Amino acid sequence: MFGFRLQKRETPLPGGQIRAFIVGLLVALLIGALLLLMVDQNPLDIYAKMFSAAFGSSQGISTTLTRAVPLGLAGLAVAVAGSMGLWNIGAEGQIIAGAMGAAWVARLGPDLAGPALIPLMLFAAAIFGGLLAFGPAIARAQLGVNEIITTLMLNEIALRAVRYLVNGPWKDPDSFNFPQAPALPEQSVLPTLFDRASIAVLIAAAVLLVFGVYASRSAWGYELRVAGSSESAAKYAGISLKKKIFTVLVLSGTIAGLGGGLVLMGSSSSPSRLVEGVANGWGFAGIIVAALALMRPSGVAAVAVAFGAVQVGGLRIQTLGVPASVANTLQALILFGALAAAVFTNYKLTRRSAAQAVTA
């Protein structure tokens, strides 16, 4: 038995990003079907109900898109950094920071009219998210400190900060001792687009579209890819790695912070007030979204909508007696299937010869 090895393809298979996601989805559905059969559920019936819950009505679509907003912006934040080979694991904390920034502005100007208050709150959210990424950006660019460790640690700092605020100086005196800030001013809540979806959907879509186009067609995006693929090539091309690293990490935090502001200020389906769980795991889920999009900003939107649909469908099937873990398992299976497909887009499995087997 000679075994097998991975051999790099001379030319990657076409449609790598789309192919990887479709393969990942099919793998997840197949394995998920086996799991559902093990718990005495009809896979076709369950999948049909999940799809119907996510896309079968105006309310379902609005809920799916609302969930896709923080998933998409968190995924974009991770993907922007990932385009340069950097890992922003702090999107969760940056979402919290963004929500705190937006809430702070609302406290400062509760009587401002909506057209003035909403932009100020969103601007503050983006700034606060960027500020949380500022330290890791400086440490990575100037000192070479691993950004994975620093961004991850700041998640806990952000969580403790919001916990202090909603249990202390910002605590709502009428909250019956629940840890939460007062409700936002009515004029600061984003206008409803339809059903449960607010204009946060349009704002997030615009941000995703602009970054997707800019990253793929601009000189800045090209420099980003060059710097991420080869440090020596970047230096040869005259690209300042320190400047690029700093800019990309701060920009990544800014995008995630904006997501926090949109979550806080969304329609009736959002908290509409600052609470400890305002981030709701969106930042960590964004890492999966970015990975499924192969760290390409252009693919984040589609993956975010698909993940939002899986989450909405997962909530629906819980009412049918299906364990909540099934939806989480499907998300994980999509990720593993897509990553495996991405590997085989660039590599092929070949059989080792006898000589290779001996030397191995």
Q: Is 326 a member of any domain?
A: no
pLDDT score recorded for residue 267: 54
Taking a C-beta distance cutoff of 8 angstroms, is the pair 327, 29 a contact? no
Q: Is 26 a member of any domain?
A: no
Q: Is 35 a member of any domain?
A: no
> Which residues are bridge partners to 6 per DSSP?
349
pLDDT score recorded for residue 1: 44
DSSP state of 12: P
Closest to 36 in 3D by CA, of 306, 314, 285: 314
Domain range for residue 87?
74-280+291-300
pLDDT score recorded for residue 94: 97
pLDDT score recorded for residue 74: 96
Taking a C-beta distance cutoff of 8 angstroms, is the pair 331, 30 a contact? no
Taking a C-beta distance cutoff of 8 angstroms, is the pair 289, 88 a contact? no
Q: Tell me the C-alpha distance between 222 and 84, whole Å.
A: 10
| DSSP string of 180-227, one letter each residue | BPPPPPGGGSPPEEETTEETHHHHHHHHHHHHHHHHHHSHHHHHHHHH
> Which residues are bridge partners to 5 per DSSP?
350
Q: Is 47 a member of any domain?
A: no
Give the pairing of strands 347-351 and 4-8. Answer: antiparallel
Number of domains the chain contains: 1
Note down pLDDT in tens along the chain; length 360 residues.
446 677 777 676 666 667 777 777 788 888 888 888 887 888 899 889 889 999 999 999 999 999 999 999 999 999 999 988 899 999 999 999 999 999 999 999 999 999 999 999 999 999 999 999 999 999 999 999 999 999 999 999 999 999 999 999 999 988 888 899 999 998 998 998 988 899 999 999 999 999 888 887 888 878 887 777 777 777 777 788 888 899 999 999 999 999 999 999 985 444 489 999 899 999 999 998 998 887 888 789 988 998 899 888 888 888 777 777 777 777 777 777 777 777 777 677 777 655 555 455
Q: Is 27 a member of any domain?
A: no
pLDDT score recorded for residue 108: 94
Q: Is 355 a member of any domain?
A: no
Q: Is 313 a member of any domain?
A: no
Q: Is 12 a member of any domain?
A: no
Q: Tell me the C-alpha distance between 219 and 238, whole Å.
A: 13
